[in-house]
Structure 1
Amino acid sequence: MSAAIAILQPGPQTSVQDAGRLGFQAFGVPVCGALDPPALRLANALVGNEPGAAALELRLAGPAFEVTGGPARLALTGADGVIEVEQGGETRRFGPWRAIDIPERARVRIGPLKASGSAILAFAGGIDVPCVLGSRATDLKGRFGGHLGRALMAGDVIALGASSLDGPCLELQNPPSLTFGGALRVVLGPQADAFTEDGLAEFLGTAYRVSREADRMGLRLEGTPLGFRRGADIVSDGIVTGSIQVPGSGLPILLLADHQTIGGYAKIATVISADLPAAGRLLPGASVRFIAVSVAQAEEARRAQERAVAQQIAALLPVRALARVDLEALLRENLVSGVVSALESDEGRGAMDRIT
């Protein structure tokens, strides 16, 4: 029997996501999938899965759960956060970017995420939920896929796929930086000509703030409204992840993984695919600017990102064993308060003079 996790506390929004539901947008079905695809690939590599295997995506904070039916191996990527593992009255704490073996009946808690609004928690064997239209991703708006088409709730039991935990736990030697530089690169269009010159200059010249209306579908941005040449409405056409729609209010909406498949508002630009993970990690209140680049520059940025992820996966190594320090024993020895200076005696001063 494979292991499972019993959800004790679900976190703000924990859902099953994979590489996405490709090939169905013509039928009105969003791609969905992980907001941070490189984090998904790295997490799966750490636990020995295929790159697009289903994992849990965490938003703002992680869940608490108990491992049942056998041991499990997991890895957290895409954010800084503390993983607490409690068993037999003892609590151990681990960081992200490494695999961790969890014994059966141990309880795991992942607290608030740091430096990121989303993260990936992968398990060896993946998440064993039904495959719907070629994917296990949760469509939260359509209410299908993943676990019952919704975010996880307390009391849910999520089965894990069969896996072997015989090999060593792996870790990422040089985790990618999560520091957001404040800017996202965009390719202008496809309806950039719907905006005035001042509107375009405003879009590229000022900073916006991510509003509280931010979810997996998109981020509403606050700032100076943009001016239109002929209004916001267009004949509805296709939307891709990263499209920046501007409705009649003049305030941009950056569309993410759960975006609708068509829309009738002018799109001033599209965030390049290499910067979509950073966009997916943005938190409400974050400041963001946009920098226009060419299609060729966008393609090179994506190739560079792919090379970096491949190199990180190729460089995975077994977790370095650290000697366990008995802090209570050290404190009993009273090492700090018992220290005296060798210079407090004439003999000590003479010895130091001879050394120097």
Structure 2
Amino acid sequence: MSMKVVKPGLLTTIQDTGRTGYQKYGVLGSGAMDTISLRIANLLAGNKETEAGLEITLMGPGPSFELSEPAVIAVTGADFAFHINGEPAPLWKPVLVKENSVVSFGPCKMGSRAYLAVAGGFDVPAVMESKSTYVRAGIGGFYGRALQKDDELPLGSMTQCSEIIAHRLSDSLGQHGFSAPDWSVSSRGFLPLKKNPVIRMLEGAQFHAFTEEAKSRFYKEPFTVTPQSDRMGYRLKGAPLELQEPLEMVSEAVTFGTVQVPPDGNPIILLADRQTTGGYPRMAHIISADLPLAAQTMPGEHITFSAVSLEEAEMLLLEREQQIKELKARLKMEWLI
């Protein structure tokens, strides 16, 4: 069983929750930019939450895919137009799609990335224990590259849960091209998208090295996400952040959400395809709970930073993981009991 790429879109790649444990060897993590949306899409499709799905960058017309056989899919992430065989289709819920159907993605209303999970996942080789695509190195995913027209993506075997979902939804399929339950996951409960978001931060190791004026501006004035942004990092534009004096640094470890400030004073948010070390001062770190919101920001939007304590950051992360745990329990009750 496979999925055919009819239109690839701007940038569509296979991503899972990342390549962990290899950064000490200089191998970056990659993985989904918005891991929460990917995890929930997988759970809705009956997969393990760490399974690989499609990350779809939505800036302009989106991609489309053809399924030659019936399949259970789930689409989460940004707010956008989604269709199956030309009919509006629901987001954030499991959907049984009939054979010979085409799923397509239209213009984005808010956010910038969608995630499509298919029951069984994508049957591509794991590289260093991950199916995630790192395009610059040509590893992982589908031949280490973004998807292209006429690619045939092999699908894996459905789990027991996916088979139950397909059986339950088939009863209401009828003459329609797809079938879905009358409930859905609350997208705002997991991904409260908004234009020009406020992103919460922790101070970085070199925060003290900046001038008082720069530190004040960092938390009060908005920064614009520039078009020179990608999966490696978001380049921001605003009033330059100045150091108290020149700072010579040895390269140090960086992570998803590290905010570095190069000599021009404009911050860079490091993202999924970040390098493993960096030699620029680390102004701050985005808290884990807000990484999906940052990753969904589009070029041209403004980001404002807000400081929180480490205790608050930990509490917010624990609350989010508890939400995921409760969702898994509810889905198990819905399909398996």
Task: Say yes or no: does 1:215 pair with 2:210.
Answer: no
Task: Say yes or no: does 1:66 pair with 2:66.
Answer: yes
SS at match of 2:292: helix
Find the partner of 1:248 among 247, 253, 263: 263
1:304: how far off?
1.3
1:48: how far off?
0.2
1:242: how far off?
0.3
Gaps of 5+ in 2: 170-179
1:240: how far off?
0.6
Task: Say yes or no: does 1:141 pair with 2:133.
Answer: no
Gaps of 5+ in 1: 320-356
CA contact (8 A) 1:194 1:229 kept: yes
Question: Could you tell me how far apart the structure 2 residues matched to 1:302 and 1:309 are?
Answer: 11
- Corresponding position of 2:34: 36
Question: Could you tell me how far apart the structure 2 residues matched to 1:266 and 1:188 are?
Answer: 11
Q: Structure 1 length as normaliser, TM-score?
A: 0.83
Find the partner of 2:282 among 251, 258, 267: 267
Listed as ranges, the matches of 1:17-36 within 5 Å are 17-36=15-34
1:106: how far off?
1.5
| Structure having the higher Rg | 1
1:204: how far off?
1.2
Going from structure 1 to structure 2, the CA distance change for 1:121 and 1:22 (only over 3 Å counts) comes to same
Q: How large is the RMSD of aligned CA atoms in angstroms?
A: 1.8
- Corresponding position of 2:325: 310
Aligned length: 312
1:181: how far off?
6.4
Which moves more between the two structures, 243-252 or 159-168?
A: 159-168
Listed as ranges, the matches of 1:76-155 within 5 Å are 76-86=75-85, 91-155=86-150
Q: Structure 2 length as normaliser, TM-score?
A: 0.88
CA contact (8 A) 1:232 1:248 kept: no
Per-residue CA deviations over 1:203-259 (Å, capped at 9, x if unaligned) read: 112111111111111100011001112335511010010000100000000111110
- Corresponding position of 1:231: 246
Question: Could you tell me how far apart the structure 1 residues matched to 2:97 and 2:55 are?
Answer: 19
Per-residue CA deviations over 1:157-176 (Å, capped at 9, x if unaligned) read: 10111113324455524332
Q: Percent identity?
A: 38
Find the partner of 1:184 among 182, 199, 207: 199
1:46: how far off?
0.7
SS at match of 1:137: coil
1:315: how far off?
3.8
1:193: how far off?
2.2
1:184: how far off?
0.6
Which moves more between the two structures, 170-179 or 259-268?
A: 170-179
Per-residue CA deviations over 1:64-114 (Å, capped at 9, x if unaligned) read: 11112x21111110122232222xxxx422121112112222122111232
Q: Which runs of 4+ in 1 moved over 6 A?
A: none
Question: Could you tell me how far apart the structure 2 residues matched to 1:9 and 1:16 are?
Answer: 15
1:318: how far off?
6.7
